[in-house]
Amino acid sequence: MKRTKIVDIFAPELIGNQVSVKGWVRTRRGNKNVQFVALNDGSTIKNIQIVFDMEKFSDEQLKPITTGASIHVIGQLVESMGKGQSAEIQAEQLEVYGTADPDSYPLQKKGHTFEFLREKAHLRPRTNTFGAVFRIRHHMAIAIHQFFHEHGFFYFHTPIITASDCEGAGQMFQVTTKNLYDLKKDENGSIIYDDDFFGKQASLTVSGQLEGELAATALGSIYTFGPTFRAENSNTPRHLAEFWMIEPEVAFADLNDLMDLEEEFIKYCIRWALDNCKDDLEFLNNMVDKGLIERLEKVIDTEFVRLPYTQGIKILEEAIAAGKKFEFPVYWGCDLASEHERYLVEEHFNKPVIMTDYPAEIKAFYMKQNADGKTVQGTDVLFPQIGEIIGGSVREENYDKLMKRIEELNIPMKDMWWYLDTRRFGTVPHAGFGLGFERLLLFVTGMTNIRDVIPFPRTPNNAEF
Ligand code: 4AD
Ligand code: MG
């Protein structure tokens, strides 16, 4: 008999039919006459209740049905008398696939802390909260592809192993097949890579942007969606060493086009979550963050503030003058700390903010230089609770200006010749951004630690599972 997924079982026309369900036991309760099992198969946050009439089943048969056990039940789907569910199954046949010894199965009925569950990342998808989070993660990935597909962007695959450093922040993980116990060095003590796998030093990418620009200046509008890696030793609730990034890149786009795209894209994704993840969002709204759905609805109805950095600094300085205390100093040229970003977003404007025109010194080499000689056309999208969710910019398309910046920053040219060719041959204005997928998921799920929105987080001192 064909299995019915629990997500499909509540269809009214199935009532009265014989059904076959398979899943993992969440709970069992009852008395000597009747036993109730809540079964979940991961297809939905909802459980199906299975009713065992103890005249038809023995205690011995039901003994292995403990929390975490996997079973197969065939029975009649009937309307439920009980509260909280529309249908239940009157069990006729039971097959136990696998038991889960209550003395050692870690996910018992009582709620566990997210910290505890991080240690059990191999099993936590079986909990309500992580089931909901990972289903939403799937739906958000679909939303992203759908948005770009609808808008005529091509999905372009950029390499994961690279010999160039896009962000120039020196946070790359090396990729090598060299024997680390026996490294060949030159007279200055530098490692010689000639005999390494790629014949040069190679790393895991921090961003697909540079290759994305090559594609945008050929296909017009592209996006990447893949894993990126940063060896930054920041043990915060918002940083991962391995995270997924979405990077659209658009030829002929200027700063306003860029900001419009950022805002439209992020609103589309949030609207998608509200439309497609209703049950999971309602669960998270009840159990994790009571303000979640309201916050999501508010963001899609709000026009984001567009704020030049210089004006942002002025607002922060005025706040300080009026008595506001920050841990880190504020001055023109400073890299804003998350407390500053959150003040602007959560207290001053109470809206998402797209900050623009940052000092060149605190941004990457590729950003388009403004006529003032001091600022560049970079944009960060700042979100309540999250801080920076998107980083993007208009790109410097002028060969001479870009070269000058590369020289000022001592970026090794030999790795960049191919990038510079886009500026030598048919250069065009273009712009793009990077959205941290897990930061978006933090916002959409209401979870507060980035380790809890990716199945197997990679952070300093943690590569388990
Ligand atoms: O601001 P970032 O460093 O920008 C870039 O990498 C550009 N090349 C993107 C582009 O213009 N194509 O990173 C982009 C976004 C950040 O806004 C943040 O959401 C996320 O990536 N991000 C991280 N997410 C989790 N863990 C980390 N360690 C992250 N670092 C950046
Ligand atoms: Mg950034």
Q: What is the pLDDT of residue 464?
A: 95
Q: How many angstroms is it from 431 CA to the middle of ligand 1?
A: 15
Smallest CA separation from ligand 1 atom 9, residue: 434
Atom of ligand 1 nearest to the CA of 234: 28
Q: Pull the structure tokens for residue 18.
A: 């014989």
Residues with CB under 6 A from ligand 1: 166-167, 207, 209, 230, 232, 239-240, 243, 245, 247, 388-393, 432-434, 436, 438-439
Q: Please give the pLDDT value at position 414.
A: 79
Ligand 1 atom 7: residue of nearest CA = 434
| pLDDT at position 118 | 96
| Type of residue found at 122 | H
- pLDDT band at 273; cut points 50, 70, 90: very high
Residue 291 has pLDDT above 90, yes or no: yes
- The mean-pLDDT minimum among 157-161, 170-174, 284-288, 364-368 falls in 170-174
The whole-number pLDDT of residue 125 equals 97
Q: What is the mean pLDDT of the chain?
A: 96
**Backbone angles phi and psi of 263, in degrees to 5:** -70, -45
CA distance 441 to 448: 10
Residue 360: name the closest of 345, 375, 350 by CA.
Answer: 375
The DSSP secondary structure of 50-115, one letter per residue, reads: EEEETTTS-HHHHTT--TT-EEEEEEEEEE--STT-SEEEEEEEEEEEE---TTT-S--SS---HH
Strands 353-359 and 375-383: antiparallel
Give buried/exposed letters for 13-34 (b at 16+ CB in 10 A, else e): eeeeeebebbbbbbbbeeeeee
Mutational pocket test of ligand 1: of 205, 439, 440, 454, the residue with most ligand atoms within 8 Å of the beta carbon: 439
Task: Say what percent of the chain tops pLDDT 90.
Answer: 92
Q: How many CB atoms lie within 10 A of CB 83?
A: 5
Burial track 443-457 (b if 16+ CB lie within 10 A, e otherwise): bbbbbeebbbbbeeb
Q: How far is the CA of 338 from the centre of ligand 1 (A)?
A: 14
The predicted structure's pLDDT at residue 166: 81
- Kindly report, residue by residue over 130-188, the tens digit of the pLDDT: 999 999 999 999 999 999 999 999 999 999 999 988 888 779 999 999 999 999 899 99
**What is the pLDDT averaged over residues 360-379?**
97
Radius of gyration for the chain, computed over Cα atoms and rounded to the nearest angstrom = 27
Confidence tier at 408 by pLDDT (50, 70, 90)? very high
The per-residue pLDDT for 349 is: 98
What residues are neighbours of ligand 2 (ion), with CB under 5 Å? 391
pLDDT tier, 108 (very low <50, low <70, confident <90, very high otherwise): confident
**Per-residue pLDDT band at 412 (split at 50, 70, 90):** confident
Round to whole Å and give the CA distance between 65 and 98.
9
Mean pLDDT throughout 314-331?
97
Q: Which ligand is nearest to the CA of 243?
A: 1
Spacing, Cα 364 to ligand 2 middle (Å): 9
Q: How confident is the model at residue 413 (pLDDT cuts 50, 70, 90)?
A: confident
pLDDT tens by residue, 49-63: 999 999 999 999 999
The pTM for the full model equals 0.97
- Residue 191's pLDDT is what? 93
What average pLDDT does this structure show over 302-315? 98
DSSP for 298-338, written as a single string: HHHTSPPEEEEHHHHHHHHHHHHHTT---SS---TTPPPPH
**Model pLDDT, residue 41:** 98
97: CB partners within 8 A, 6+ apart:
22, 69, 70, 71, 72
Exposed/middle/buried for residue 465 (C-beta within 10 Å: 0-12, 13-18, 19+): exposed
Q: Calculate how far, in angstroms, residue 78's C-alpha sits from the geometric centre of ligand 2.
A: 54
**Residue 106 CA neighbour count, 13 Å, CB half:** 14
Mean pLDDT of 390-407: 96
- Measured CA angle at 235 (ends 234, 237), to 5 deg: 115
Identify the residue whose C-alpha is closest to ligand 1 atom 17: 390
- Find the farthest-apart pair of alpha carbons in the chain and give their distance in angstroms, rounded: 86
Cα(336) to centroid(ligand 2), Å: 11
**Ligand that comes closest to the CA of residue 166:** 1
Which ligand 1 atom minimizes the distance to the CA of 381?
17
Model pLDDT for residues 339-358, shown as the tens digit of each residue:
999 999 999 999 999 999 99
In the DSSP assignment, the letter for residue 153 is: P
Residue length, the chain? 465
Question: What are the CA-CA distances from residue 68 to residues 37, 50, 84 (Å)?
Answer: 11, 15, 22
Report helix, strand or coil for 123.
coil
Interval 48-103: pLDDT, tens: 999 999 999 999 999 999 999 999 999 999 999 877 778 999 999 999 999 999 99
Share of the chain above pLDDT 70, in %: 100
